[in-house]
Amino acid sequence: MATVSLKKLTKRYGNMEIVHGIDLEIADREFIALVGPSGCGKSTTLRMIAGLEDISGGTIDIGGRMVNDLPPRSRNISMVFQSYALYPHMTVRENLGFSLKIAGAAKDHMDRRVAEASAILGLDELLERRPSQLSGGQRQRVAMGRAIVRDPDVFLFDEPLSNLDAKLRTQMRTEIKKLHAKVKSTVIYVTHDQVEAMTLADRIVIMRSGHIEQVGTPDEVFSRPAIRFVAGFIGSPPMNLHEATVSDGRLMFSGGDSLPLPGQFKSKTAAGDRVVFGIRPDDFYPTGHGLSSGGETEVHRAELPVSITEPLGNETLVFAEFNGTDWVSRMLNPKPLKAGDRIGMSFDLSRAHLFSAETGKSLRS
Protein backbone atom coordinates (compact mmCIF):
# COMPACT_ATOMS: atom_id res chain seq x y z
CA MET A 1 0.00 0.00 0.00
CA ALA A 2 1.25 3.44 -0.75
CA THR A 3 0.97 7.17 -0.76
CA VAL A 4 0.61 9.02 -4.03
CA SER A 5 2.06 12.44 -4.54
CA LEU A 6 1.55 14.72 -7.54
CA LYS A 7 3.77 17.76 -7.82
CA LYS A 8 3.21 20.44 -10.48
CA LEU A 9 1.73 17.74 -12.71
CA THR A 10 1.14 19.12 -16.20
CA LYS A 11 -0.24 17.70 -19.43
CA ARG A 12 0.05 19.40 -22.79
CA TYR A 13 -1.08 18.26 -26.21
CA GLY A 14 0.95 20.41 -28.58
CA ASN A 15 0.31 23.96 -27.45
CA MET A 16 -2.82 23.11 -25.56
CA GLU A 17 -2.39 22.64 -21.83
CA ILE A 18 -4.99 20.27 -20.39
CA VAL A 19 -3.74 19.91 -16.81
CA HIS A 20 -2.08 22.99 -15.32
CA GLY A 21 0.53 21.92 -12.81
CA ILE A 22 -1.63 20.37 -10.11
CA ASP A 23 -0.37 19.40 -6.63
CA LEU A 24 -2.00 16.65 -4.61
CA GLU A 25 -0.92 14.49 -1.68
CA ILE A 26 -2.84 11.26 -1.19
CA ALA A 27 -2.31 9.36 2.04
CA ASP A 28 -1.84 5.61 2.32
CA ARG A 29 -5.20 3.76 2.21
CA GLU A 30 -7.06 6.94 1.46
CA PHE A 31 -10.05 6.92 -0.88
CA ILE A 32 -9.78 9.99 -3.08
CA ALA A 33 -12.41 11.00 -5.63
CA LEU A 34 -11.50 13.25 -8.53
CA VAL A 35 -14.69 14.94 -9.58
CA GLY A 36 -15.57 17.62 -12.09
CA PRO A 37 -17.46 18.30 -15.29
CA SER A 38 -16.38 16.57 -18.51
CA GLY A 39 -13.16 17.94 -19.94
CA CYS A 40 -11.85 19.10 -16.55
CA GLY A 41 -8.75 16.90 -16.83
CA LYS A 42 -9.66 14.33 -14.18
CA SER A 43 -9.40 11.30 -16.47
CA THR A 44 -6.18 12.62 -18.01
CA THR A 45 -4.74 12.98 -14.50
CA LEU A 46 -5.72 9.40 -13.68
CA ARG A 47 -4.22 8.12 -16.93
CA MET A 48 -0.98 9.95 -16.14
CA ILE A 49 -0.86 8.26 -12.74
CA ALA A 50 -1.49 4.92 -14.48
CA GLY A 51 1.29 5.57 -16.98
CA LEU A 52 -1.04 5.37 -19.97
CA GLU A 53 -0.40 9.01 -20.76
CA ASP A 54 3.03 10.69 -20.84
CA ILE A 55 3.41 13.61 -18.50
CA SER A 56 4.53 16.98 -19.83
CA GLY A 57 5.83 18.37 -16.54
CA GLY A 58 6.01 17.77 -12.80
CA THR A 59 6.40 14.51 -10.95
CA ILE A 60 4.34 11.53 -9.81
CA ASP A 61 5.48 9.54 -6.78
CA ILE A 62 3.86 6.27 -5.77
CA GLY A 63 4.95 4.93 -2.40
CA GLY A 64 7.79 7.42 -2.30
CA ARG A 65 9.19 6.24 -5.63
CA MET A 66 9.15 8.57 -8.62
CA VAL A 67 7.37 6.79 -11.49
CA ASN A 68 7.36 9.55 -14.13
CA ASP A 69 8.84 7.45 -16.90
CA LEU A 70 7.99 3.95 -15.76
CA PRO A 71 5.63 1.89 -17.94
CA PRO A 72 2.25 0.97 -16.40
CA ARG A 73 3.38 -2.56 -15.56
CA SER A 74 6.17 -1.28 -13.32
CA ARG A 75 3.96 0.98 -11.19
CA ASN A 76 2.14 -1.78 -9.31
CA ILE A 77 -1.25 -0.24 -9.87
CA SER A 78 -4.47 -1.66 -11.17
CA MET A 79 -7.22 0.10 -12.98
CA VAL A 80 -10.92 -0.41 -13.57
CA PHE A 81 -11.98 1.13 -16.86
CA GLN A 82 -15.27 2.79 -17.66
CA SER A 83 -15.70 0.28 -20.48
CA TYR A 84 -14.59 -2.59 -18.15
CA ALA A 85 -12.05 -3.64 -20.82
CA LEU A 86 -12.46 -7.36 -20.16
CA TYR A 87 -10.60 -9.65 -22.53
CA PRO A 88 -13.45 -11.08 -24.62
CA HIS A 89 -11.54 -14.16 -25.77
CA MET A 90 -10.85 -15.31 -22.23
CA THR A 91 -13.15 -16.77 -19.58
CA VAL A 92 -13.76 -14.91 -16.33
CA ARG A 93 -11.16 -17.15 -14.65
CA GLU A 94 -8.58 -16.34 -17.33
CA ASN A 95 -9.43 -12.65 -17.13
CA LEU A 96 -8.90 -12.66 -13.38
CA GLY A 97 -5.67 -14.62 -13.57
CA PHE A 98 -4.21 -12.84 -16.58
CA SER A 99 -1.90 -10.51 -14.66
CA LEU A 100 -0.51 -13.39 -12.61
CA LYS A 101 -0.01 -15.49 -15.72
CA ILE A 102 1.96 -12.67 -17.34
CA ALA A 103 4.01 -12.33 -14.15
CA GLY A 104 4.80 -16.04 -14.38
CA ALA A 105 3.13 -16.94 -11.07
CA ALA A 106 2.84 -20.57 -10.01
CA LYS A 107 -0.42 -22.28 -10.85
CA ASP A 108 -1.51 -22.91 -7.26
CA HIS A 109 -0.76 -19.31 -6.26
CA MET A 110 -2.80 -18.14 -9.24
CA ASP A 111 -5.72 -20.43 -8.39
CA ARG A 112 -5.68 -19.24 -4.80
CA ARG A 113 -5.67 -15.53 -5.71
CA VAL A 114 -8.45 -16.01 -8.27
CA ALA A 115 -10.50 -17.96 -5.73
CA GLU A 116 -10.02 -15.23 -3.12
CA ALA A 117 -11.03 -12.46 -5.50
CA SER A 118 -14.02 -14.35 -6.82
CA ALA A 119 -15.15 -15.08 -3.27
CA ILE A 120 -14.95 -11.40 -2.32
CA LEU A 121 -16.97 -10.37 -5.36
CA GLY A 122 -19.28 -13.36 -5.63
CA LEU A 123 -18.00 -14.51 -9.01
CA ASP A 124 -17.72 -18.22 -8.24
CA GLU A 125 -20.62 -19.21 -10.46
CA LEU A 126 -19.32 -17.21 -13.41
CA LEU A 127 -15.70 -18.35 -13.62
CA GLU A 128 -16.09 -20.41 -16.77
CA ARG A 129 -18.19 -17.85 -18.66
CA ARG A 130 -16.96 -15.37 -21.21
CA PRO A 131 -17.56 -11.63 -20.82
CA SER A 132 -20.19 -11.66 -23.57
CA GLN A 133 -22.30 -13.98 -21.40
CA LEU A 134 -22.32 -11.58 -18.44
CA SER A 135 -24.63 -8.72 -17.51
CA GLY A 136 -23.31 -5.20 -17.04
CA GLY A 137 -23.06 -5.51 -13.27
CA GLN A 138 -21.28 -8.86 -13.50
CA ARG A 139 -18.77 -7.47 -15.98
CA GLN A 140 -18.17 -4.61 -13.59
CA ARG A 141 -17.46 -7.05 -10.80
CA VAL A 142 -15.07 -9.06 -12.97
CA ALA A 143 -13.22 -5.85 -13.82
CA MET A 144 -12.87 -5.13 -10.10
CA GLY A 145 -11.82 -8.71 -9.45
CA ARG A 146 -9.09 -8.41 -12.05
CA ALA A 147 -7.87 -5.33 -10.21
CA ILE A 148 -7.86 -7.04 -6.78
CA VAL A 149 -5.99 -10.13 -7.94
CA ARG A 150 -2.87 -8.06 -8.63
CA ASP A 151 -2.74 -6.88 -5.02
CA PRO A 152 -1.70 -3.42 -6.19
CA ASP A 153 -0.37 -0.44 -4.26
CA VAL A 154 -3.00 1.81 -5.75
CA PHE A 155 -6.40 1.17 -7.30
CA LEU A 156 -7.46 3.50 -10.08
CA PHE A 157 -11.12 3.71 -11.06
CA ASP A 158 -12.08 5.59 -14.21
CA GLU A 159 -15.81 6.32 -14.01
CA PRO A 160 -16.50 2.65 -13.33
CA LEU A 161 -20.24 2.98 -12.79
CA SER A 162 -21.23 5.27 -15.66
CA ASN A 163 -22.44 2.45 -17.87
CA LEU A 164 -24.76 0.92 -15.29
CA ASP A 165 -28.41 1.74 -14.74
CA ALA A 166 -29.36 3.80 -11.70
CA LYS A 167 -30.31 0.90 -9.43
CA LEU A 168 -27.24 -1.17 -10.21
CA ARG A 169 -25.08 1.91 -9.77
CA THR A 170 -26.28 2.38 -6.21
CA GLN A 171 -25.68 -1.30 -5.50
CA MET A 172 -22.16 -1.32 -7.00
CA ARG A 173 -21.35 1.87 -5.12
CA THR A 174 -21.98 0.03 -1.88
CA GLU A 175 -19.86 -2.89 -3.11
CA ILE A 176 -16.95 -0.60 -3.92
CA LYS A 177 -17.16 0.89 -0.45
CA LYS A 178 -17.18 -2.58 1.12
CA LEU A 179 -14.32 -3.61 -1.12
CA HIS A 180 -12.22 -0.68 0.02
CA ALA A 181 -12.93 -1.59 3.64
CA LYS A 182 -11.74 -5.14 2.91
CA VAL A 183 -8.65 -4.61 0.80
CA LYS A 184 -7.59 -1.39 2.54
CA SER A 185 -5.62 0.09 -0.31
CA THR A 186 -5.17 3.57 -1.71
CA VAL A 187 -7.93 4.36 -4.18
CA ILE A 188 -8.14 7.12 -6.76
CA TYR A 189 -11.62 7.27 -8.17
CA VAL A 190 -12.62 9.47 -11.10
CA THR A 191 -16.26 10.34 -11.55
CA HIS A 192 -18.44 13.12 -12.84
CA ASP A 193 -21.16 12.06 -10.45
CA GLN A 194 -20.90 14.10 -7.25
CA VAL A 195 -23.15 11.67 -5.39
CA GLU A 196 -20.63 8.87 -6.00
CA ALA A 197 -17.83 11.13 -4.87
CA MET A 198 -19.68 12.20 -1.72
CA THR A 199 -20.72 8.69 -0.72
CA LEU A 200 -17.42 6.91 -1.38
CA ALA A 201 -14.53 9.22 -0.80
CA ASP A 202 -12.53 10.16 2.28
CA ARG A 203 -11.58 13.33 0.45
CA ILE A 204 -12.93 14.89 -2.72
CA VAL A 205 -10.82 16.75 -5.26
CA ILE A 206 -12.94 19.07 -7.37
CA MET A 207 -11.37 19.90 -10.71
CA ARG A 208 -12.29 22.40 -13.37
CA SER A 209 -10.47 23.24 -16.62
CA GLY A 210 -7.29 21.47 -15.56
CA HIS A 211 -7.07 23.11 -12.12
CA ILE A 212 -7.88 21.78 -8.67
CA GLU A 213 -10.57 24.05 -7.24
CA GLN A 214 -10.94 22.52 -3.79
CA VAL A 215 -9.79 19.49 -1.85
CA GLY A 216 -11.72 18.46 1.23
CA THR A 217 -13.82 15.89 3.02
CA PRO A 218 -17.36 15.44 1.69
CA ASP A 219 -18.63 17.55 4.58
CA GLU A 220 -16.14 20.33 3.91
CA VAL A 221 -16.89 20.66 0.22
CA PHE A 222 -20.62 20.51 0.93
CA SER A 223 -20.80 22.83 3.91
CA ARG A 224 -17.92 25.16 3.17
CA PRO A 225 -17.44 25.44 -0.58
CA ALA A 226 -14.40 27.63 -1.22
CA ILE A 227 -15.68 29.03 -4.48
CA ARG A 228 -18.93 29.53 -6.29
CA PHE A 229 -18.18 26.72 -8.78
CA VAL A 230 -17.85 24.13 -6.02
CA ALA A 231 -21.03 25.43 -4.36
CA GLY A 232 -22.94 24.91 -7.59
CA PHE A 233 -21.32 21.59 -8.45
CA ILE A 234 -21.68 19.72 -5.15
CA GLY A 235 -25.15 19.01 -3.84
CA SER A 236 -28.30 17.78 -5.50
CA PRO A 237 -30.47 19.62 -6.28
CA PRO A 238 -27.82 22.31 -6.63
CA MET A 239 -27.50 25.37 -4.43
CA ASN A 240 -29.60 28.40 -5.41
CA LEU A 241 -27.06 31.01 -6.58
CA HIS A 242 -28.13 34.55 -7.45
CA GLU A 243 -26.23 37.78 -7.94
CA ALA A 244 -27.00 40.67 -5.63
CA THR A 245 -25.61 44.03 -4.53
CA VAL A 246 -24.96 44.92 -0.90
CA SER A 247 -26.86 48.03 0.09
CA ASP A 248 -27.81 49.33 3.48
CA GLY A 249 -27.42 46.01 5.27
CA ARG A 250 -29.49 44.21 2.65
CA LEU A 251 -28.85 42.12 -0.44
CA MET A 252 -30.60 43.81 -3.36
CA PHE A 253 -31.42 41.42 -6.23
CA SER A 254 -31.74 42.63 -9.80
CA GLY A 255 -35.45 41.80 -9.92
CA GLY A 256 -36.18 44.25 -7.11
CA ASP A 257 -36.58 41.77 -4.24
CA SER A 258 -34.18 41.84 -1.33
CA LEU A 259 -33.03 39.81 1.66
CA PRO A 260 -31.32 40.89 4.90
CA LEU A 261 -27.52 40.57 4.69
CA PRO A 262 -26.63 37.51 6.83
CA GLY A 263 -24.93 38.63 10.04
CA GLN A 264 -21.69 36.72 9.54
CA PHE A 265 -21.00 38.64 6.32
CA LYS A 266 -21.67 42.13 7.67
CA SER A 267 -18.03 42.77 8.49
CA LYS A 268 -16.82 41.29 5.21
CA THR A 269 -18.82 43.38 2.81
CA ALA A 270 -19.26 47.07 2.11
CA ALA A 271 -22.15 48.92 0.53
CA GLY A 272 -22.03 48.61 -3.24
CA ASP A 273 -20.19 45.24 -3.28
CA ARG A 274 -21.40 42.85 -5.93
CA VAL A 275 -21.82 39.38 -4.50
CA VAL A 276 -23.41 36.01 -5.28
CA PHE A 277 -25.88 34.81 -2.67
CA GLY A 278 -26.15 31.07 -2.27
CA ILE A 279 -28.57 28.96 -0.26
CA ARG A 280 -29.04 25.21 -0.39
CA PRO A 281 -32.54 23.79 -0.95
CA ASP A 282 -32.29 22.31 2.56
CA ASP A 283 -31.87 25.79 4.06
CA PHE A 284 -34.68 27.38 2.04
CA TYR A 285 -37.81 25.47 2.97
CA PRO A 286 -41.56 25.82 3.37
CA THR A 287 -41.97 27.04 6.94
CA GLY A 288 -42.47 24.08 9.24
CA HIS A 289 -41.18 21.60 6.67
CA GLY A 290 -37.44 22.11 7.05
CA LEU A 291 -34.55 20.20 8.54
CA SER A 292 -34.09 22.46 11.56
CA SER A 293 -36.06 21.96 14.71
CA GLY A 294 -36.92 25.59 15.28
CA GLY A 295 -33.69 26.65 16.94
CA GLU A 296 -32.51 28.74 13.98
CA THR A 297 -31.14 32.10 14.91
CA GLU A 298 -31.43 33.99 11.68
CA VAL A 299 -34.47 33.12 9.62
CA HIS A 300 -36.09 35.35 7.07
CA ARG A 301 -39.67 34.52 6.21
CA ALA A 302 -41.59 35.40 3.08
CA GLU A 303 -44.80 34.34 1.38
CA LEU A 304 -43.96 33.12 -2.13
CA PRO A 305 -45.93 31.62 -5.04
CA VAL A 306 -45.20 28.01 -6.00
CA SER A 307 -44.39 27.51 -9.70
CA ILE A 308 -43.92 23.72 -9.83
CA THR A 309 -43.42 20.81 -7.47
CA GLU A 310 -41.51 17.53 -7.87
CA PRO A 311 -42.82 14.98 -5.36
CA LEU A 312 -40.22 12.32 -4.43
CA GLY A 313 -42.29 10.46 -1.87
CA ASN A 314 -40.46 11.20 1.36
CA GLU A 315 -39.89 14.80 0.29
CA THR A 316 -41.01 17.24 -2.37
CA LEU A 317 -38.87 19.67 -4.31
CA VAL A 318 -40.77 22.94 -4.41
CA PHE A 319 -39.80 25.58 -6.94
CA ALA A 320 -40.86 28.88 -5.40
CA GLU A 321 -40.74 32.16 -7.26
CA PHE A 322 -38.56 34.80 -5.70
CA ASN A 323 -37.08 37.82 -7.46
CA GLY A 324 -38.62 36.71 -10.76
CA THR A 325 -36.89 33.31 -10.90
CA ASP A 326 -37.50 29.85 -9.49
CA TRP A 327 -35.60 28.92 -6.32
CA VAL A 328 -35.58 25.26 -5.45
CA SER A 329 -36.45 24.22 -1.92
CA ARG A 330 -36.68 20.88 -0.17
CA MET A 331 -39.94 20.20 1.65
CA LEU A 332 -39.78 17.47 4.27
CA ASN A 333 -43.00 15.82 5.51
CA PRO A 334 -44.55 17.10 2.32
CA LYS A 335 -48.10 18.27 2.05
CA PRO A 336 -49.96 18.53 -1.26
CA LEU A 337 -49.22 21.73 -3.14
CA LYS A 338 -50.11 22.92 -6.59
CA ALA A 339 -48.75 25.53 -8.93
CA GLY A 340 -49.96 29.02 -8.02
CA ASP A 341 -50.42 28.25 -4.31
CA ARG A 342 -48.83 30.83 -2.02
CA ILE A 343 -46.73 29.34 0.71
CA GLY A 344 -44.74 30.66 3.65
CA MET A 345 -41.02 30.09 3.00
CA SER A 346 -38.08 30.29 5.42
CA PHE A 347 -34.55 31.37 4.44
CA ASP A 348 -32.10 30.06 7.06
CA LEU A 349 -29.62 32.88 6.60
CA SER A 350 -27.15 31.54 9.16
CA ARG A 351 -26.42 28.74 6.70
CA ALA A 352 -26.36 30.90 3.58
CA HIS A 353 -23.24 31.44 1.48
CA LEU A 354 -21.85 34.57 -0.07
CA PHE A 355 -19.28 34.67 -2.85
CA SER A 356 -17.50 37.57 -4.46
CA ALA A 357 -19.11 38.22 -7.84
CA GLU A 358 -15.70 39.00 -9.40
CA THR A 359 -13.42 36.28 -8.06
CA GLY A 360 -16.08 33.70 -7.12
CA LYS A 361 -14.30 33.18 -3.77
CA SER A 362 -16.32 32.46 -0.64
CA LEU A 363 -16.64 35.36 1.80
CA ARG A 364 -17.03 32.96 4.74
CA SER A 365 -14.10 32.81 7.06
Partner 1 sequence: MDENASARLTRRALTVAHRVGLFLAMLVICLPGIWIVLSSLRPTVEIMAKPPVWIPQQLSVEAYIAMFSGIGKGGIPVLDYFRNSLIISVTSTVIAVAIGMAGGYAFARYRFRGKSGMFLGLMLTRTVPGIALSLPLFFLYVRLGIIDTHIGMILAYVALNVPFTIWLIDGFFRQVPKDLAEAAQIDGCTRWQAFWQVEFPLARPGIASAAIFAFLTCWNEFALASQLTRSVNSKTLPVGLLDYTAEFTIDWRGMCALAVVMIIPALTLTYIVQKHLVDGLTSGAVKG
Site of interaction with partner 1 (CB under 8 A): 50-52, 71-73, 77-79, 81-89, 98-99, 102-103, 130-134, 136, 139, 146, 150, 163
Integer angstrom CA distances of residue 162 from 7, 166, 208: 29, 9, 19
Nearest approach, Cβ of 227 to partner 1 (angstroms)? 34
Nearest approach, Cβ of 351 to partner 1 (angstroms)? 41
Q: Which is nearer to partner 1, 162 or 236 (CB)?
A: 162
Burial class (CB in 10 A: 0-12, 13-18, 19+), 180: buried
Nearest approach, Cβ of 134 to partner 1 (angstroms)? 7
Q: Which is nearer to partner 1, 81 or 193 (CB)?
A: 81
Nearest approach, Cβ of 70 to partner 1 (angstroms)? 12
Nearest approach, Cβ of 14 to partner 1 (angstroms)? 11
Q: Which is nearer to partner 1, 47 or 280 (CB)?
A: 47
Q: Which is nearer to partner 1, 93 or 203 (CB)?
A: 93
Nearest approach, Cβ of 153 to partner 1 (angstroms)? 12
Q: Specify whether the CB–CB gap between 133 and 90 falls below 8 A.
A: no
Q: Which is nearer to partner 1, 99 or 118 (CB)?
A: 99
Nearest approach, Cβ of 91 to partner 1 (angstroms)? 11
Q: Which is nearer to partner 1, 99 or 346 (CB)?
A: 99
Q: Which is nearer to partner 1, 73 or 182 (CB)?
A: 73
Nearest approach, Cβ of 5 to partner 1 (angstroms)? 20
Q: Which is nearer to partner 1, 11 or 351 (CB)?
A: 11
